[in-house]
Structure 1
């Protein structure tokens, strides 16, 4: 198939999704995509160039019109991007190119640009917890449905659903929330969550800490098992030991373990294979 026929086939496929856009919008978007993807290149790259373009079209077709529906701050870089899916039943840890950390929940996925370190923009479907590396020059942005979360360095969760809207809960730092086609901005503080759905946005408070007040140490053991999946073993003489502690619900497990070891002057060992913590 020659280039002219291939162009026509791509243009036809491009015009089919999404149906909600006008013909003029589709035509303008196609010309922009065509000029960037099928521009003049050296002949030796010709075959691979078309193969890559075909993959982009297929991705857009199954991605609910991602190119057309992206937020106002997103750009064409998403046509060449990385997609990470979590098809397991457990949280998947993803370390991004800038060293930011993502805890991707089951049945969720993220999409980010190839040049992520200088263009820190992510699209998410589902739910994830972000621990963002600070970079004042390159703001970190998360796009979910019609919302944009902009941060410099912080910890927060984003949960999005096509039918239920978006919830952003802030654990540390500060984030700015924007909604597509709305001028208002919302600045969240730790302990606040932004809820958006049915064109309505609101900010409420949530409990970001787990408090233990004069409770048995075994209560913390149970909490760690339920929330981190690690079995914690302590010496028998500490079974009835009482503890008062406040734990950030998204705190790193090792930080909690180190704190307990210092409080009771215990050594500990973490077995990652067995998912077990042993205090001695």
Structure 2
């Protein structure tokens, strides 16, 4: 296969892209990728070079990420991708490092293409982050004038109000920094950092939801309201009482497993109709 034919085949793979990217971005990205991968005047091009290039393209296409000359509040020029929630419901996003983001409506995040080693995110709006631990690669969230740096933790960042950012920590620890200020703030679980009108403050907040000898049906109502799943329990358990403390951002799976163990019940999840059926 001659060089022109190889070029055509590689570009064909590159253009099999998500619709979210414009043709201009695809074209610019292709030219940048080709020029950096296949410098001109090369004397030969063997099949293993083609295979390696194709694999690199497929990796980028599969994640919907294209090379753009943007900065993500970093001294290095890094490629990025934007994930936006234009719906009226929370959008759950699994990041390349297995961290999870619950993106609120009218919110968006922007992250690096080399995110696994450069875990930087710029965000607008509100999101809940559950971060995968990686001591070698700290996780940073930039929102307006603030930076939240973590290793492994769960927290919310709310920047929906103009000139205000609120970071609430549920688990782990977070270091807060403000652009132009030398001081930093280390948050503990149950602490909330607020930056408004140029003033940073730290205060406690209630990160737990408590059920103190309440009907199990109250837990069912809570789950439906906060997670969107309806809990179906055997009728003989309708008047059962439960005492339970969970964080307000607890994983639904953890809550269901706790209830299952407390009452020695099995459960099934019907994703189609969003139901959890205890047996």
Q: Distance in 1 between matches of 2:182 and 2:77?
A: 25
Unpaired stretches in structure 1, ≥5 consecutive residues: 1-36, 45-54, 61-66
1:139-178 pair list within 5 angstroms: 139-161=138-160, 163-178=162-177
Deviation at 1:43, TM superposition (A): 5.8
Cα pair 2:68 2:80 within 8 Å, conserved: no
- Secondary structure at the counterpart of residue 260 of structure 1: helix
How many residue pairs get aligned? The number is 219
Offset from partner CA, 1:217-240 (integer Å, 9 cap, x none): 111010001100111011111111
Aligned residue in 2 for 1:191: 190
Q: Distance in 1 between matches of 2:77 and 2:242?
A: 51
- Secondary structure at the counterpart of residue 111 of structure 1: strand
Offset from partner CA, 1:216-272 (integer Å, 9 cap, x none): 111101000110011101111111111100011111111111110111111111111
- Secondary structure at the counterpart of residue 77 of structure 1: coil
Aligned residue in 2 for 1:247: 246
Deviation at 1:162, TM superposition (A): 5.8
Q: Distance in 2 between matches of 1:164 and 1:119?
A: 27
1:206-245 pair list within 5 angstroms: 206-245=205-244
Q: What CA RMSD, in Å, does the superposition of the two structures yield over aligned residues?
A: 1.9
Cα pair 1:145 1:162 within 8 Å, conserved: no
Unpaired stretches in structure 2, ≥5 consecutive residues: 1-31, 42-66
Deviation at 1:89, TM superposition (A): 1.1
Deviation at 1:164, TM superposition (A): 4.3
Deviation at 1:142, TM superposition (A): 0.4
Which structure is higher in helix share?
1
Q: Distance in 2 between matches of 1:75 and 1:83?
A: 19
Aligned residue in 1 for 2:75: 75
1:96 aligns with 2:95: yes
Deviation at 1:99, TM superposition (A): 1.0
Cα pair 1:147 1:178 within 8 Å, conserved: yes
Q: Distance in 1 between matches of 2:186 and 2:274?
A: 38
Cα pair 1:88 1:107 within 8 Å, conserved: yes
Q: TM-score normalised to the size of structure 1?
A: 0.74
Offset from partner CA, 1:67-106 (integer Å, 9 cap, x none): 5xx65xx23434x211110111111111111111111111
Q: Distance in 2 between matches of 1:153 and 1:194?
A: 18
- Secondary structure at the counterpart of residue 106 of structure 1: coil
